Chain A
Amino acid sequence: DTSLDALRQALLQALMDQDLLDEHRVQEMLAENEGKFKGSALEEMLNQLIERLIEEGYLTLREEQVRQQQQQRGNGNPEISEPLPRNVKFEVTEKGLDFLGYKTLRNLLGSLGKSSFGRHDTPQLSTGVEAAAASKAYEFGDTINLDVNTTLLSAIQREGLKMPLNLEYSDLHVHQCDYQSSCATVVMLDCSHSMILYGEDRFTPAKKVALALAHLIRTQYPGDALKLVLFHDSAEELPLAKLATTQV
């Protein structure tokens, strides 16, 4: 449900979960408005929060076209009908999606303790390890980043320590660097009926993992290609921007 009412409801729940608002205060604000939500200080507060989320670029609003059927209501009837209710929906922006991806990734990997050495950032300290790869004999086509020490040592071993030192082609050695490659990843997301079988939602957790994985790949491995595929009776490519709003 992407209606504004659903958003207000979710906001209220989030505020209460984070102890920013308690049940008592909610009742108080409603009571000030004769128990009605519409026009209450609570509605005003939630609207202000939605405005802030929009200003900061996390969400956008769009107005859906009112159904044709409703527009035709009262056709040929000169009397003025009641104004139709506005059908405003919200959408998560790319910034919002990026933020959710980051948070989901942090939650998935955030419970790391200190175990073996890896690449995940932790609050702990460790000694640095910088692997210096051995140099190799120069071959045509190699980048000429000469390892001068090994080159001279090779010449000395062959010719003995004398001046002038005669360098042969086979003496040349070059530094080796880590070779980094890019890779392509396709994430396949199952949205078949079994994902919501027996009323249990297995799709949302899977979607969160996909979102976190997408965030990890996009931020840690620039140059990688990432595509999402949604499969059910058939399969189709899913744009990353649509991931958050995809449902079974």
Chain B
Amino acid sequence: DVSSINLGDLMEGLSDSLLS
């Protein structure tokens, strides 16, 4: 379920991709 995903955790997981 998409709405149950914590966006903060998701952003943290994305940080490598967003910063590189």
Chain A: residues with CB nearer than 8 A to chain B?
Answer: 6-7, 10-11, 13-15, 17-18, 20, 45, 48-49, 52-53, 56, 58, 92, 96, 99-100, 103-104, 201, 204, 207-208, 211, 244
Contacts and interface: CB of A to CB of B under 8 A. Distances in A.
A45 B2 contact: yes
Contacts of B15: 100, 103-104
B2 to A, nearest CB: 5
A10 B11 contact: no
A207 B19 contact: yes
Interface in B1-20: 2-3, 5, 7-20
B19 A20 contact: no
Interface of B, secondary structure class, is helix
A18 B11 CA distance: 11
21 contacts: A13-B13, A13-B17, A14-B10, A14-B13, A14-B14, A14-B17, A18-B10, A49-B2, A52-B7, A53-B10, A58-B7, A92-B18, A96-B18, A99-B11, A103-B12, A104-B15, A201-B20, A207-B19, A208-B19, A211-B19, A244-B19
B19 A204 contact: yes
A10 B19 contact: no
Given A96-B11, A100-B18, A204-B16, 5 more contacts: A17-B13, A20-B5, A53-B11, A99-B8, A204-B19
B19 A52 contact: no
B14 A10 contact: yes
Contacts of A211: 19
A244 B18 contact: yes
A200 to B, nearest CB: 13
Nearest to B1: A45
A58 B11 contact: yes
A244 B11 CA distance: 13
B5 A100 contact: no
B9 A18 contact: yes
Contacts of B12: 103
Given A10-B17, A244-B19, A100 B10 contact: no
Contacts of A244: 18-19
B5 A49 contact: yes
B2 A10 contact: no
Contact of A103 (B2, B5, B7, B11): B11
Contacts of B13: 13-15, 17-18
Interface centre among B8, B12, B14 (most CB of A within 10 A): B14
